[in-house]
Structure 1
Amino acid sequence: MKSSIATVCLSGSLPEKVAAIADAGFDGLELFENDLTAFDGTAIQAGRMIAERGLELVTLQPFRDFEGLEGRQRKQALDRAERKFDLMQELGTDLLMVCSSVHPDALPGLSRAAEDFHELGERARRRGLRVAFEALAWGRHIHDYRDSWEVVRRADHPAVGLVLDTFHIFSRQTDLNTIGSIPSDRIFLVQTADAPRLSMDHLSWSRHYRCFPGQGELQMADFMRLLEETRYDGPLSHEIFNDVFRMGHSDQTARDGQRSYRLLRAMAADSAVPVPQDIDGIAFIEVAAETEDLPALRNTLSALGLACVGRHHTLEAERWAINDLNIVLNPDSSFAGRSPGRTATAVTAFGLRVDNAYEAFKRADLLGFDIVEPEDVGATHGMSALRNVDGSLAYIIDNSQLSRTWDREFTRDVQPVPEGPVVGLDHIALSLSYHDFLSVLLQYRAIFNLDTTPSFDVTDPRGLIQSQVLCNASGTFRLALNASASPDTLSNRFVRRYGGSGVHHLALRSTDLATSAARLAEADVPLLPIPGNYYRDLAARFDLPPTQLDALADHHLFYDEDADGTYQQLYTLSGRRAFFFEIVQRDGYQGLGAPNAFVRVTAQQRMDATAPDPQATTGDTA
């Protein structure tokens, strides 16, 4: 199949879109006619520009409200088509995409529509052109691909073919099985789009919430399996209407589109792309630390029971550990994972533990994701990494690699790894721009075998934050993604303050949160203060004894329950850092404490309003 993308997917002018599509490595593009209408040049110049970038102009689209009309209106529709045929010949494409009519005067009847398309096909054939028919999910009479296929079949014309569009098929929950029986030469174009599962009208859903395959919740693998049965070998083209894409960078969108195309091709039974890898958990966190922030960081880690168990043999980096948790403090200003322009102490790398790192990297490479080799950045540890969208690194390692790294790299002042109530990393939370949100979702779902929770909204005093969690089946890996369209939510304040997307907080898991909280208090590590009204509400919601409620309030702990157990949380303050710590105690509970999120972000907003600018202070509060 040939990779293609519709210009409507991208932001910018037509020349900017064409450049981004070509640079991303696509074979062709669909020209959305609005982009041509707004182009400051002729159709011939537009076609030449596309061809000079090595791209095939797959189709001009869309041609609307054609079938089912009578008399003068039918003649006008055919006359309109002739004008589009003129345009196509100037552009240098032979295919016009026709979507099913929503015209209020359109009459029903598959035979009537077939007669219309036979005549349209005959007019196209005389000019060496073709037409392809798509069933819109909100079409007036034809909104099922099986009906559009029947129209094409009855039209029985070599210049008339079918468009299969995944969004229109899935949004109507149409049975897929007919696809496998459609002759491949009758399918002229396949358009792909994923989407979250939403309850809303088809048109609004389509116009605002489509996304690339791998970013949504539709069963794209089932569609690709049946498409493979047809032996279709034409253009596989993304057609995405999405408000985020329209606001984002066209080059980033195009690169994600190319990766999504490769992901679709990897779903074929004979694909040479390795299967997605399971993530066992997080092997380590690396923090690029400003020197003046190190004393406070060390104090917090010590209070949590971590100890410095080794120092790097050439750098000033330190390995802090307890049980299975490893945190590397790296003050080296040239650290490869440090985002350009970001000077705050920040999480700039983490290690993903898998069974077979080689297979994971092979899959990532074949899907087109950025891989950083150690020699590229002058590192001696021998570990390769994915380059995350924010510039940070996600190392992919197996257990043997990790042991060698600790033994070979952190050879000074080696100490035993202590034990204590903090037993590991519970989850990582990212604050992202909306565009980066979708890019991260695609990257991790494409490479690794991960589930997603349904997207949910966190209420911030200044807007809504969309949140979604990527997790493995065992619950040992959780990556929480957060993005907001409101400029002053906690999430967007982070993105704006620290120069882009990144890790917002690290959640460490404790088996005894009361003890962990007491140790933090003893070390004078400030905790996020929680209003007393919260604990009055807890007393009303849960059957907790007064002594337990008092203990929760004394330690600034949140509490929640679900069908599987209980959950407790506390938060440190971030101070100068670009991240803060959350400490949790999870006793069977499966979520991330979402019912507490509004109180938490409100408290953080309140603290943030009174805090000095972290870029201007010299001390640290946590």
Structure 2
Amino acid sequence: MYSSIATVCLSGSLEEKVDAIAQAGFEGLELFENDLTAFAGTPREAGELIRSRGLKLVTLQPFRDFEGLQGRARERAFDRAEHKFDLMEELGTELLMACSTVHPDALPGISRAADDYHELGERAARRHLRVAYEALAWGRHIHDYRDSWEVVRRAAHPNVGLVLDTFHIFSRQTELGTIGRIPGDRIFLVQTADAPRLSMDHLSWSRHYRCFPGQGELQMDKFMAMLDETRYDGPLSHEIFNDVFRMGHSDQTARDGLRSYQLLRSMQRDSGIPAPQPIESVAFLEIAVEPDDLAPLRTMLGALGMACVGRHHTLNAERWAAGDVNLVLNTEASFTGRVPGRDATAVTAIGLRVGNAYEAFKRADKLGYEIVEPEEVGASHRMSALRNVDGSLSYIIDDSQLSRTWDREFPVNVQPVPQGALVDIDHISLALSYHDYLSLMLQYRAIFQPAPTPSFDVTDPRGLIQSQVLQNGNGRFRLALNASASPETTSNRFVRQYGGSGVHHVALRTRALRDTSAALQQAGTPVLPIQGNYYRDLAARFDLSAQTQTWMQDHHILFDQDSHGDFYQLYTQPGGKAFFFELVQRDGYQGLGAPNAFVRVTAQQRLKTDIGGSTQDAAV
């Protein structure tokens, strides 16, 4: 198989799309006819443009509403096909992709459709062309790949073959077993698309919410396993209709597309790509600290029971720790390199603990992700990292590397790690642009294969925030991704105010939130104020003692409960930092407190601070 992508996946002019596809490293492309219609040159020039970039023009698509017609309408359908064949000869491609009809006058019948396609195959053969037939999920009579395969089988023409499209198959929840029994040489084209699971009509779902494999919730691995059985060896092509892609950067979309193609290939036998290395936990966070924030940050961490357990041997950087929480406070840009354009105190690197870091980097490299060596960022440590789409770094390390790093890099004033109420980093939440949301989703799922939870919407006073959580099997790694199309939501204000996507907040897990909240209060750490009406609602929904309710209201604690247990949350105010802390206590509870998210974002929208006589937003 070889890599391909449809021009409809990308934003921009045909020239911009072709350049982005070629620069990303694709071998072929499908030409969506709208892109040709809007092209300023001739079809011959369009074909030459594509070939001049080293690309194969896989197919012209789509050819619509062909089969099942009668009389003059049928004659006109064949006339349209001949015009498409003329166009294909000028372009320099030999495959026309045709989709099942939605024409209101089309008659049903697989034999009728097969006769039409046999005749079309005869006409195509006279011009050394081929036709590939696809079942649209919303087709008038044929919307199941098993029926489109039966049309192709009965047409019995070597110039007529099948298109398999993953979206049309999965959106109809069609079984996959039949795919393995289709001869690979009768499949002319495979189109891939993932999608979130939504309850809506097939056409709207397809036109707006498709995404690259690895960014959605469909079982692409099962499809690829079945495709393996056919021994298909043609183009494996993305066909994505997505509003975010249409307004995003074509080069970023194309790069993600090629990585997604490599992910699909890794699902096949003998791909040569190492197996995923699951993330076992967050080993550390590195925080680039502005000088004015250092003292209050130290005070807050001390109140949480953390201590400075070592200092860097050459740089102004400190390791703060408690339990399995490790934070590196760095006041020098040279430790890992700050994110360009972000001057506030911010999380600039995440340490991800895996079983075998070497195998994880091998997989990342095969999938086309950028690996950053320590000398590239002026670091004295020996840890390699991945460059994230927001410019931050994700270090991939295993236990042996981590212990050596602490011993070698932070040998000054070494102290024992406190073992108190603070347990670990419960989860990390990121605020992202929509394009970065999909890119980062693909990166983490492709390399580490965390499981995605169903996406959900957080109701912000200024719009909706889409949120989805990636988590590992042991519950020790959770990454919440958040994006919004509304410019004034807390998520988008973060992205705008702090120079792009990044870590929005860090949740630390404690065994005793009562003690932790009291210590924060005593230390004078500002926490997010929660309105009294929230606690009246809690009293109606949950069987909580009066003492517990009073404590929660006094300390601004949020609460939720599921079938596994209870969950308590407390948020700090960010001040001038680009992120804030969340403190959680989970007593068996499995989620992240999603029912409270709208309370939190509403409180943050409400929060104001007076600076120099003017009022501006202080929380995001």
Above 0.5 in TM-score?
Answer: yes
- For the residues of structure 1 that align with 2:449 and 2:240, how far apart are their CA atoms? 25
- For the residues of structure 2 that align with 1:338 and 1:100, how far apart are their CA atoms? 52
Partner of 1:50: 50
Could you list the per-position Cα deviations for residues 321-369 of structure 1 after superposition, in whole angstroms to 9, with x for gaps in the alignment? Answer: 1111110011112454422111111001011111100111111110111
Could you list the per-position Cα deviations for residues 419-465 of structure 1 after superposition, in whole angstroms to 9, with x for gaps in the alignment? Answer: 22111110000001111111111111111131111111111111111
Deviation at 1:616? 12
Give 3-state SS (helix, strand or coil) of 2:178's partner. Answer: helix
CA contact (8 A) 2:526 2:573 kept: yes
Whether 2:249 is the aligned partner of 1:249: answer yes
Whether 2:125 is the aligned partner of 1:139: answer no
Could you list the per-position Cα deviations for residues 564-609 of structure 1 after superposition, in whole angstroms to 9, with x for gaps in the alignment? Answer: 11111111100110000000011111111111111111111111x4
- For the residues of structure 2 that align with 1:336 and 1:509, how far apart are their CA atoms? 26
- For the residues of structure 1 that align with 2:115 and 2:100, how far apart are their CA atoms? 14
Give 3-state SS (helix, strand or coil) of 1:561's partner. Answer: strand
Partner of 1:116: 116
Extract unaligned runs of 5+ from structure 1. Answer: none
Partner of 2:485: 485
Q: Cα 1:621–1:17, aligned 2, differ >3 Å: closer, same or farther? A: closer
Could you list the per-position Cα deviations for residues 476-520 of structure 1 after superposition, in whole angstroms to 9, with x for gaps in the alignment? Answer: 000001111111111011011111100000000111111111111
- For the residues of structure 2 that align with 1:568 and 1:150, how far apart are their CA atoms? 57
Deviation at 1:174? 1.0
Give 3-state SS (helix, strand or coil) of 2:36's partner. Answer: helix
Deviation at 1:375? 2.4
Per mean C-alpha deviation after superposition, the further-off stretch among 413-422 and 357-366 is 413-422
Deviation at 1:185? 1.2
- For the residues of structure 1 that align with 2:473 and 2:49, how far apart are their CA atoms? 48
Partner of 1:184: 184
- For the residues of structure 1 that align with 2:538 and 2:224, how far apart are their CA atoms? 49
- For the residues of structure 2 that align with 1:516 and 1:296, how far apart are their CA atoms? 17
Give 3-state SS (helix, strand or coil) of 1:241's partner. Answer: coil
- For the residues of structure 1 that align with 2:429 and 2:290, how far apart are their CA atoms? 21
Deviation at 1:376? 2.2
Q: Which amino acid is the alignment partner of residue 596 of structure 2?
A: N
Partner of 1:160: 160
Q: Which amino acid is the alignment partner of residue 91 of structure 2?
A: L
Deviation at 1:377? 2.1
1:29-428 residue pairs with structure 2 within 5 A? 29-428=29-428
- For the residues of structure 2 that align with 1:246 and 1:449, how far apart are their CA atoms? 27
Give 3-state SS (helix, strand or coil) of 1:423's partner. Answer: strand
CA contact (8 A) 2:334 2:378 kept: no
TM-score (structure 2 length as normaliser): 0.98
Give aligned-pair identity as a percent: 74
**Count of residues in correspondence between the two structures:** 619
1:447-486 residue pairs with structure 2 within 5 A? 447-486=447-486
Q: Which amino acid is the alignment partner of residue 406 of structure 1?
A: W
Give 3-state SS (helix, strand or coil) of 2:440's partner. Answer: helix
Q: Which amino acid is the alignment partner of residue 380 of structure 2?
A: T
- For the residues of structure 2 that align with 1:311 and 1:612, how far apart are their CA atoms? 34
Q: Which amino acid is the alignment partner of residue 588 of structure 2?
A: G
RMSD: 1.6
Partner of 1:578: 578
Deviation at 1:392? 0.6
Whether 2:518 is the aligned partner of 1:518: answer yes
Q: Which amino acid is the alignment partner of residue 506 of structure 1?
A: V
Deviation at 1:621? 10
Give 3-state SS (helix, strand or coil) of 2:528's partner. Answer: coil
Deviation at 1:180? 1.1
Give 3-state SS (helix, strand or coil) of 1:57's partner. Answer: strand
- For the residues of structure 2 that align with 1:125 and 1:231, how far apart are their CA atoms? 24
Q: Cα 1:616–1:351, aligned 2, differ >3 Å: closer, same or farther? A: farther
- For the residues of structure 1 that align with 2:595 and 2:419, how far apart are their CA atoms? 32
Partner of 1:535: 535
- For the residues of structure 2 that align with 1:291 and 1:334, how far apart are their CA atoms? 15
Q: Cα 1:41–1:612, aligned 2, differ >3 Å: closer, same or farther? A: farther
Give 3-state SS (helix, strand or coil) of 2:465's partner. Answer: strand
Q: Which amino acid is the alignment partner of residue 75 of structure 1?
A: E
CA contact (8 A) 1:525 1:621 kept: no
Whether 2:498 is the aligned partner of 1:498: answer yes
Whether 2:433 is the aligned partner of 1:442: answer no
Deviation at 1:612? 4.2
Deviation at 1:378? 2.6
- For the residues of structure 2 that align with 1:334 and 1:122, how far apart are their CA atoms? 68
TM-score (structure 1 length as normaliser): 0.98
- For the residues of structure 2 that align with 1:361 and 1:416, how far apart are their CA atoms? 32
